[in-house]
Structure 1
Amino acid sequence: MSKRSDGKETRPPGMVDVARAAGVSPQTVSRALAGHPNVQEKTRAKVLAAVEQLGYRRNNAARMLSSGRSRTIGVVTLQTNFYSRAAVTTGIEHAAHDAGYTVSTATTTSLDTFAIENALSRLVDQDVEGIILSVPLIHTSRRIEQLTRATPTLTIDGSRTDATEVVAVDQTLAARLATEHLLDLGHETVWHIAGPDEWLEAGQRRDGWRAALEAAGRPVPPPLEGDWTPASGYRNGLVLARIPDLTAIFVASDEMAFGVIRALHEAGLRVPEDVSVVGFDDIELAEYCSPSLTTIAQPFQHMGRLAVTHLLRHIEDPGTVPEPHTVAPRLIVRASTAPAPAR
């Protein structure tokens, strides 16, 4: 990659750039370069001229296209060790395989708009037939709008562009379920350890927690912020353990909740006898921590499969109006929650 004047890396020209320079669609560029007989020679000449002007280099997958269809789905995902991302990707791969498609993954190391643009461009250059955007998209851009308009795109975390379809769990409702469960057990209020601000899901869970407390007329403590890791849960758990009237915590992910429970144990507090803890995600380890974790279940693999089903429908009928599809959350009650202790 080359460098911009500000020192940042710039991406090489892609198929969308060729399409813009030639005044045609990316699909037309793909067909022209593949020698499709339905492309007029005048159009093919404009495409080739744009390729020459921009220095565009086709990838090997595009060269092998002869049918005009790649039978490939692209996935944009964040480089992370979090269980949720891997589980969603597994569901996508299984569903794609069952439908006769392969999956090409573009990994981004940040949620920066420029990084997501590059990931989308890499997939478009591979002639994927559709894209699943498995990263939060708080800020969109003109280029992201162009890319998702040119290629059928679906998001699975609640974020969207003007042209994308959404498959998501109702995060706000899920957080209300978790908070109301603790209030129903007699806790006066519920403290919250949220995820990072740049994740839409974290904000929606925080909103649901706050709405549940306000609806019940309970005090709303200041939320703490973690970064989804057990270490951040542990650090915040040590802070909360010093609060005298603490009896209940809603944590925005199971992995952070594991860290919280360890911190409470080290501070001499028992879970759930002294403090009840609710997590979020219901990853496989949640049932086996000590005590087993009450949590909100997110059907990650099901979400991945559902995303593929919706995307394939959109690929076959691009004229359909994208509509959100919301999956209902479930509260899984285990041993980490109990009635509020008598004071």
Structure 2
Amino acid sequence: MSTPTDAPGSAVTGAAEGRGRPAETARAANIRDVARRAGVSHQTVSRVINGHPSLRAETRDRVLAAMDELSFRPNRAARALVTSRSTTIGVLVSKGFEYGPAASLQAIDSAARVAGYAVDVAHLDDAEGGSIRAALDRLLARNVDGLIILAPQTQTLAEIERLSITLPFVTVHSARAHDDHRLSVDQSGGAALATRHLLELGHRRIVHIAGPDGWFETEARVRGYRGEMEAWDCEPEALLSGDWTAESGYRAGLALAGDLGVTAVFSSNDQMALGLLHAFREHGRHAPRDISVVGFDDVPEAAHYWPPLTTVRQNFPELGRRCVARLLGLIGEDPAGRGPSAPAPGTVPDVVPELVIRASTAPAGS
């Protein structure tokens, strides 16, 4: 009985054939394999792994594509032995289901994994000092290398400033303009974009539905709205407040539905805009024919509202990448082995938001 010939691609080849030797196990790809596949140096691959901020986007994308093709993942255990670090980032996050913080956390987790770090999350039960200290203690007990503080309530940030944190840390949003640890999306700039869009369409009575008190985003977006209205010599309308939910936007819409002089609304998030559109439509006011509506965040569903919602998009993946790159620099994680690689304090700009124009806005009187 003849022995079948090995098919192409068999693991038994060359001198091993016919000698009874076991097939070689395929070698796992290493950093130099990735460099060859991407056509870059192995130092460049290290910079991508560690989230170095100076790389061109096309170079980073090419290296990431090569990593995926070769199924290469940085070895956290090996790095921990060499660096005496846990290769774990702690994230302190407020409890809640708001899209912004949730999307920020997802972006941070993705950027950390690319850099070969794990993420350990501690949720705050509330903004009280005891809750914050307990959450910090949980993360410190797990020997994290650094902290990202994703708790955008002003009370939480004020409490954290009072604490003496010796571990490297970055805050996502802060009320202090020159905080060396701060990274953010330009919330005031995004609110000004939304308001300016409505003003350019000829609207003059524009109401702002603000978020709940005590949130950094609420305060920053109110500033952006008022500043842009005043820049156009328009009197800002009295604020209506919600709690980020569609239900609160619906209640605000009921309060506005009878005021036919109001021709546009800027909602501080997309969920409240959804409730607002519902209330208006229920009372015979249709967007954008009778009233224009702009939201904020660009949640995945915003393009499928009726009508599709004009909104302000926050680049959460970029925010996550910058947070992780900044934190690794503060930790001293330099991919080229030359010491700390953090950008100089004050040199990391806010992430710039983008206005996404859809069908919920139109010229006044249209």
TM normalised by structure 2 equals 0.71
1:78 aligned to 2:102? Answer: no
Within the candidate set 231, 235, 249, 2:265 is matched to 249
Counterparts of 2:306 and 2:357, CA distance in 1? 14
Alignment check: 8 A CA contact 1:88 1:301 kept: yes
What's the secondary structure of 1:270's corresponding residue?
coil
Counterparts of 1:321 and 1:214, CA distance in 2? 35
The corresponding residue for 2:195 is 179
The code of the aligned residue for 1:126 comes to R
Counterparts of 2:239 and 2:196, CA distance in 1? 17
The corresponding residue for 1:169 is 185
| CA deviation string 1:244-271 (max 9, x = no partner) | 2111000000111111100111111010
The corresponding residue for 2:353 is 329
The corresponding residue for 2:130 is 114
The corresponding residue for 1:290 is 306
* CA shift for structure 1 position 322: 3.5
* CA shift for structure 1 position 178: 0.5
* CA shift for structure 1 position 68: 3.5
What's the secondary structure of 1:325's corresponding residue?
coil
The corresponding residue for 1:215 is 231
* CA shift for structure 1 position 130: 0.7
| CA deviation string 1:240-297 (max 9, x = no partner) | 1121211100000011111110011111101000000000001111111110000001
What's the secondary structure of 1:186's corresponding residue?
coil
Counterparts of 2:314 and 2:237, CA distance in 1? 26
What's the secondary structure of 1:327's corresponding residue?
coil
Matches within 5 A, 1:116-135: 116-135=132-151
Alignment check: 8 A CA contact 1:76 1:120 kept: yes
Where does the alignment leave 5 or more consecutive residues of structure 2 unmatched? 1-79, 333-339
What is the root-mean-square deviation in Å for CA atoms of aligned residues?
Answer: 2.2
Alignment check: 8 A CA contact 1:158 1:201 kept: no
The corresponding residue for 2:274 is 258
Counterparts of 2:227 and 2:343, CA distance in 1? 35
Alignment check: 8 A CA contact 1:106 1:122 kept: yes
The code of the aligned residue for 1:240 comes to L
Structure 1 residues 72 and 164, CA, compared in 2 at 3 Å: closer, same or farther?
Answer: farther
| CA deviation string 1:182-235 (max 9, x = no partner) | 011011221000011110111110011011111111121100111111111111
The corresponding residue for 1:305 is 321
The answer to which of 281-290 and 136-145 deviates more is: 136-145
Counterparts of 1:131 and 1:82, CA distance in 2? 21
Within the candidate set 62, 81, 95, 2:111 is matched to 95
What's the secondary structure of 1:212's corresponding residue?
helix
Counterparts of 1:274 and 1:143, CA distance in 2? 46
Alignment check: 8 A CA contact 2:205 2:261 kept: no
Alignment check: 8 A CA contact 2:327 2:342 kept: no
- Give the % identical residues: 40
The code of the aligned residue for 2:88 comes to T
* CA shift for structure 1 position 113: 3.5
Structure 1 residues 290 and 137, CA, compared in 2 at 3 Å: closer, same or farther?
Answer: closer
Counterparts of 1:163 and 1:247, CA distance in 2? 39
| CA deviation string 1:153-208 (max 9, x = no partner) | 10112346997511111111111111010011011221000011110111110011
What's the secondary structure of 1:237's corresponding residue?
helix
* CA shift for structure 1 position 111: 2.6
* CA shift for structure 1 position 132: 0.6
Counterparts of 1:176 and 1:142, CA distance in 2? 29
TM normalised by structure 1 equals 0.75
Q: Compare the two structures and name the one with the higher strand fraction.
A: 1
Counterparts of 1:127 and 1:115, CA distance in 2? 19
Alignment check: 8 A CA contact 2:329 2:342 kept: no
Alignment check: 8 A CA contact 1:117 1:144 kept: no
Alignment check: 8 A CA contact 2:169 2:181 kept: yes
Residues matched between the structures, number? 277
